Structure 1
Amino acid sequence: MQFIIYYLNFQNGVLLFVMAYARIAIVFYMLPVLGERVLSGLVIKNTLITLTIIGLWPCSQLVISPEQGWFILLVQEVVVGLILAMTLCVPFWIAINIGELLDNQRGATLSDSIDPVNGGQSSVLSGFMNFAFGAIFFASGGMQLLLELMMKSYQVFPQGSNVMKIHWQELSYLLMVIAKNSIILAAPVLMVMLVAELLLGVFARYCPQLNPFSLSLTIKSFIAFIVFLLYGFRAMTEKPWQIFSNLALQTFIS
């Protein structure tokens, strides 16, 4: 009899672990700062996920009734984890888009390479921005904030909550936030490079034999780096960092 009780408790614990894993693991796999190049290997990543689940175990206590069905609850947790991961990835996607915009404006998109953080193909400056914001993330206590947001997600979306109440149209709000903040943060450099492009055009009009456009990549790259150093990293520690919160997640049910 005692063995049966232990077995049922173990079975319930495994189901609770699977439910928590379905929500938290998606965040670890989607977050660019925790990409394959940072946490290489499934053993290391799943060990960290398991330790995170143990730390958040009091938040994920769920009594599974036969009427609910564990498979339906698992699908709901996967959906909630996907929404949580997308909202937490927004600041990193903003940093990546800033690099893409600047590389597109300075004409360096032909030099696309492998991003050293998440392993995907991206422009040179895009990978650098992703790596730089990842350093800002860790230096500013980002992992502690990440765990706090995971804990608060159980208050916003408790286990077993109905995903049909989620406002899926708010996904367009996330796209708007990414596009808006990327353009705002990259606008000073884009305007300066546009002025440099106009001046090169005027110079080429009066001195066509010098072919100044052959130096346009070098000139615009130098200007972009100087201007971005004046404001860029300070702005990246303020604007995208403010978005890294639970507010975007709450918009899906408000």
Structure 2
Amino acid sequence: MFLILLNGVFFRLAPLFFFLPFLNNGIISPSIRIPVIFLVASGLITSGKVDIGSSVFEHVYFLMFKEIIVGLLLSFCLSLPFWIFHAVGSIIDNQRGATLSSSIDPANGVDTSELAKFFNLFSAVVFLYSGGMVFILESIQLSYNICPLFSQCSFRVSNILTFLTLLASQAVILASPVMIVLLLSEVLLGVLSRFAPQMNAFSVSLTIKSLLAIFIIFICSSTIYFSKVQFFLGEHKFFTNLFVR
């Protein structure tokens, strides 16, 4: 009985350790991560209401699959701020023409730009500094209150479009100050190239746009970006209610 409960909690927690940038393969090796998942799962066995009847043993594989789905949806929601800032860095690097420096990000395992990796690590640091681990544990416990272990619950699949819209819109909004400045610099460089073609203004455009982008990012980091990560820390119900009800 204890092993069934432990495995049920494990299947809900495991996706979090694969998707969150500070808990996945690039940061924690599998030999350490799996015991940590079981250790955390053993402390969350009593979270929420657990109704174990004869039907649990008859449909144990279906219920375990349900726990995996809940864990995946919960990990998607909790990874939203990191994905948003990763997209912000990719958008800014694309606008300043620095996507040629893309490399494999060990924290995500994907081909990404340098600024995207920086923003991803920045959001992770702010998240952990602001009590992110407590937020994750509280969100997991709230998910058990909404969808208890080995119980039937429905999923809001229609909210996938809302999730993707929120991801794209927030990324564009956060990148918009830098995008506006880069657009104005592009216009000024075009005017300069038109009246002084011998200067070859576009040969130094990457340097100029990079300096402007870093300057705007430095201004926004302590105000807009920092507060945006902290905003997600107060949205427990948003994360857990987005897909599960």
TM-score, normalisation: structure 2: 0.92
Secondary structure of the 2:73 match is helix
Larger mean CA deviation between 171-180 and 92-101 belongs to 171-180
Secondary structure of the 1:32 match is coil
AA of the residue aligned to 1:24: L
Secondary structure of the 1:16 match is helix
Map of 1:213 onto structure 2:
202
Which ranges of structure 1 fall in alignment gaps of 5 or more residues?
A: 1-11
Q: Are positions 1:96 and 2:61 aligned together?
A: no
Q: Are positions 1:14 and 2:24 aligned together?
A: no
In structure 2, C-alpha distance between the alignment counterparts of 1:150 and 1:80, rounded to whole Å: 10
Deviations 1:109-129 (A, max 9, x none): 111012243332211100011
Correspondence for 2:114 among 100, 124, 148 = 124
Secondary structure of the 1:230 match is helix
Q: Count residues with an aligned counterpart.
A: 241
In structure 2, C-alpha distance between the alignment counterparts of 1:196 and 1:248, rounded to whole Å: 39
* Displacement of 1:252: 2.7
Moved over 6 A (4+): none
Deviations 1:203-236 (A, max 9, x none): 0111112111011111000000001101134322
Deviations 1:92-111 (A, max 9, x none): 00110010010010011111
Map of 1:252 onto structure 2:
243
Q: Is the 8 A contact 2:102 2:114 kept in 1?
A: yes
Deviations 1:53-111 (A, max 9, x none): 12212116634333341111101101111110000010000110010010010011111
Please, what is the CA RMSD of the aligned residues?
1.6
Secondary structure of the 1:114 match is strand
Q: Is the 8 A contact 1:99 1:126 kept in 2?
A: yes
Correspondence for 2:144 among 119, 143, 154 = 154
Map of 1:70 onto structure 2:
60
Identity rate, percent: 35
Cα gap change, 1:243/1:100 in structure 2, threshold over 3 Å: closer, same or farther?
same
In structure 1, C-alpha distance between the alignment counterparts of 2:124 and 2:204, rounded to whole Å: 32
AA of the residue aligned to 1:154: Y
Correspondence for 2:75 among 85, 101, 110 = 85
Structure with higher Rg: it is: 1
In structure 1, C-alpha distance between the alignment counterparts of 2:132 and 2:244, rounded to whole Å: 25
Q: Are positions 1:202 and 2:191 aligned together?
A: yes
Deviations 1:130-162 (A, max 9, x none): 111111122112112111111111012112333
Q: Are positions 1:142 and 2:132 aligned together?
A: yes
Secondary structure of the 1:33 match is coil
Q: Is the 8 A contact 2:88 2:175 kept in 1?
A: yes
Map of 2:159 onto structure 1:
170
Correspondence for 1:191 among 180, 184, 191 = 180
Cα gap change, 1:188/1:226 in structure 2, threshold over 3 Å: closer, same or farther?
same
Cα gap change, 1:130/1:233 in structure 2, threshold over 3 Å: closer, same or farther?
farther
Map of 2:23 onto structure 1:
34
In structure 2, C-alpha distance between the alignment counterparts of 1:239 and 1:108, rounded to whole Å: 25
Q: Are positions 1:228 and 2:233 aligned together?
A: no
Which ranges of structure 2 fall in alignment gaps of 5 or more residues?
A: none
Q: Is the 8 A contact 1:94 1:240 kept in 2?
A: no
